[in-house]
A = this chain, B = another copy of it.
Amino acid sequence: MKLYDLPASPNARRVRIFLAEKGLEIPMLPVNMMTGENQTEDYLKKNSLGRMPLLELDDGSYISESVAICRYFEEMQPSPALMGSGALESATIEMWQRRMEFEFILPIISIFRHTADMWKGRFVQIPQVAEQERISVMARMEWLDKELIGKQFIAGDNYTVADITAQCAFVMAKAALGIRIPEELENLSDWWARVSTRPTARA
């Protein structure tokens, strides 16, 4: 088994943190997107969309999509549960995971793609999209701050995949876009202090 990794990618980091929380170590193979390693015939046979992360299993199967890879490990090693157990808990965590994905990680990646030099020429950049997404992300931080009232973690009392998604979004927002969690959003700032100091946060 091995994981094709893209070290700077927030989606790849989601899987790395998930594995670290499970205490699992998988051989990692970094793929260099800048030199087009992910667009070679060989790599496209593994993942026809040319993306990372990608899990290669010993039977020759491949799983792409960060959350699908997380699902694989959750099923293989249920403890500690990061995707919940039972109908209501699993569904609640999935709801929050998806909210963090749609409200934060997708628009933050979109701002980056529409503005970063590394995407010039690889992608039709529309600066107005980045402007709108930035407004939306700031508004959603205020929303999330209110949603965190009385909660330790995004989906409730336990640390879950929803926190991992949000964490990876905010790491990218700060590092690549200079977007920080405003100090006056106290619940969100407290949550950030809790998750960013976990031993797995730098995975």
Interface residues of A (CB under 8 A from B): 48-49, 57, 61, 63-65, 67-69, 71-73, 75-76, 86-88, 90-92, 94-95, 98-99, 103, 124, 126, 128-129, 132, 143, 146-147
Given A63-B91, A99-B49; A126-B128 close (CB under 8 Å): yes
Q: How far is the CA of A143 from the CA of B92 in the complex (A)?
A: 33
What is the distance, in angstroms, from A138's C-beta to the closest C-beta of chain B?
Answer: 15
A126: which of B61, B64, B87, B129 is its contact (CB, 8 Å)?
A: B129
Q: How far is the CA of A68 from the CA of B94 in the complex (A)?
A: 5
Given A90-B71, A143-B48; A64-B128 close (CB under 8 Å): no
B residues less than 8 Å from A61 (CB atoms) = 88, 92
Each complex incorporates copies of this chain amounting to: 2
> Is the beta-carbon distance between A63 and B126 smaller than 8 angstroms?
no
Provide a sorted-by-A list of 30 A–B residue pairs whose CB atoms are within 8 angstroms. Answer: A48-B146, A48-B147, A49-B99, A49-B103, A49-B143, A57-B88, A61-B92, A63-B92, A63-B95, A64-B99, A65-B98, A67-B94, A67-B98, A68-B92, A68-B94, A68-B98, A69-B91, A71-B87, A71-B90, A71-B91, A71-B94, A72-B87, A72-B90, A75-B91, A76-B87, A124-B128, A124-B132, A126-B128, A126-B129, A126-B132
> Is the beta-carbon distance between B65 and A94 smaller than 8 angstroms?
yes
B residues less than 8 Å from A128 (CB atoms) = 124, 126
B residues less than 8 Å from A126 (CB atoms) = 126, 128-129, 132
B residues less than 8 Å from A88 (CB atoms) = 57, 61, 63, 72
Residue of B nearest to A61 (CB): B88
B residues less than 8 Å from A94 (CB atoms) = 65, 67-68, 71
B residues less than 8 Å from A103 (CB atoms) = 49
What is the distance, in angstroms, from A44's C-beta to the closest C-beta of chain B?
Answer: 11
What is the distance, in angstroms, from A85's C-beta to the closest C-beta of chain B?
Answer: 9
Q: How far is the CA of A118 from the CA of B118 in the complex (A)?
A: 36
